[in-house]
Amino acid sequence: MAKVGKRTSAAREAFAGKENLTIEEAVALVKANATAKFDETVEIAVNLGVDPRHADQMVRGVVGLPNGTGKTVRVAVFARGPKAEEAQAAGADIVGAEDLMETIQGGTIDFDRCIATPDMMPVVGRLGKILGPRNLMPNPKVGTVTMDVADAVKNAKGGEVQFKVEKAGVVHAGVGKASFDEAKLVENVRAFVSAVAKAKPAGAKGAYMKKIALSSTMGPGVSIDVASASEQ
């Protein structure tokens, strides 16, 4: 049987018997127990009453967290000519066309967000099997297929978070760092919950948000009261 460390034991004791908290209570608890030697990410998971195998129950979207994610986001842009120059000027880490496609096909994916101009989609489309499973495929619905590449790059760098429901009906994302002020984490959590609520698909039946949980990278999770979290 694996040995449980003092830090893990202390965290479990702190979380014992606590559930369906307000966002403020959950943030305070998670932040207080994020005691790893690195700045842990505060993560949210939302269980939804949808079956993403049905197109009318797919949930995906994008939200700009008011206080950013605390994470350095590397951005790749598929563009040519003036649009490639525009992307570089906006701070894109990697810009290319067929050359970038070949790099990715070769197994090098050194970025967290992928943006493309519409004319580049025939090239990007060849990478569907590689980028799709990693949730990196550019998509006009979340603003990553656009002619305004400068704005898209700035948004990605500034704390914009994409979300997409997984097969099990769960949406999850990082909503900040444990070093953030509690108030800023609360704002980010509320913004994320609100965005997921607004992304409710037409085919969703019954209860849409079934459970919301908050945790840090190395810590246990705690449930948040869905009704209070949904009140904006």
Q: What percent of the chain has pLDDT over 90?
A: 84
The pTM is what? 0.83
- Decide: 195 and 65 in contact? Cβ < 8 Å: no
**Cβ neighbourhood burial of 89 (10 Å; 0-12, 13-18, 19+):** exposed
Q: How confident is the model at residue 141 (pLDDT cuts 50, 70, 90)?
A: confident
- Interval 58-63 mean pLDDT: 93
Domain spanning 75-158: which superfamily?
Ribosomal protein L1/L10, domain II (3.40.50.790)
Q: How confident is the model at residue 6 (pLDDT cuts 50, 70, 90)?
A: low
Which one-letter DSSP state was computed for residue 94? E
The DSSP H or E segment spanning 11 is helix 6-15
Q: How confident is the model over 9-41, as pLDDT tens digits? A: 666 677 766 788 999 999 999 999 998 999 999
Q: How confident is the model at residue 92 (pLDDT cuts 50, 70, 90)?
A: very high
What radius of gyration do the chain's Cα atoms show? Answer: 19
Residue spans per domain, the chain: 19-69+161-230, 75-158
CATH dotted code for 19-69+161-230:
3.30.190.20
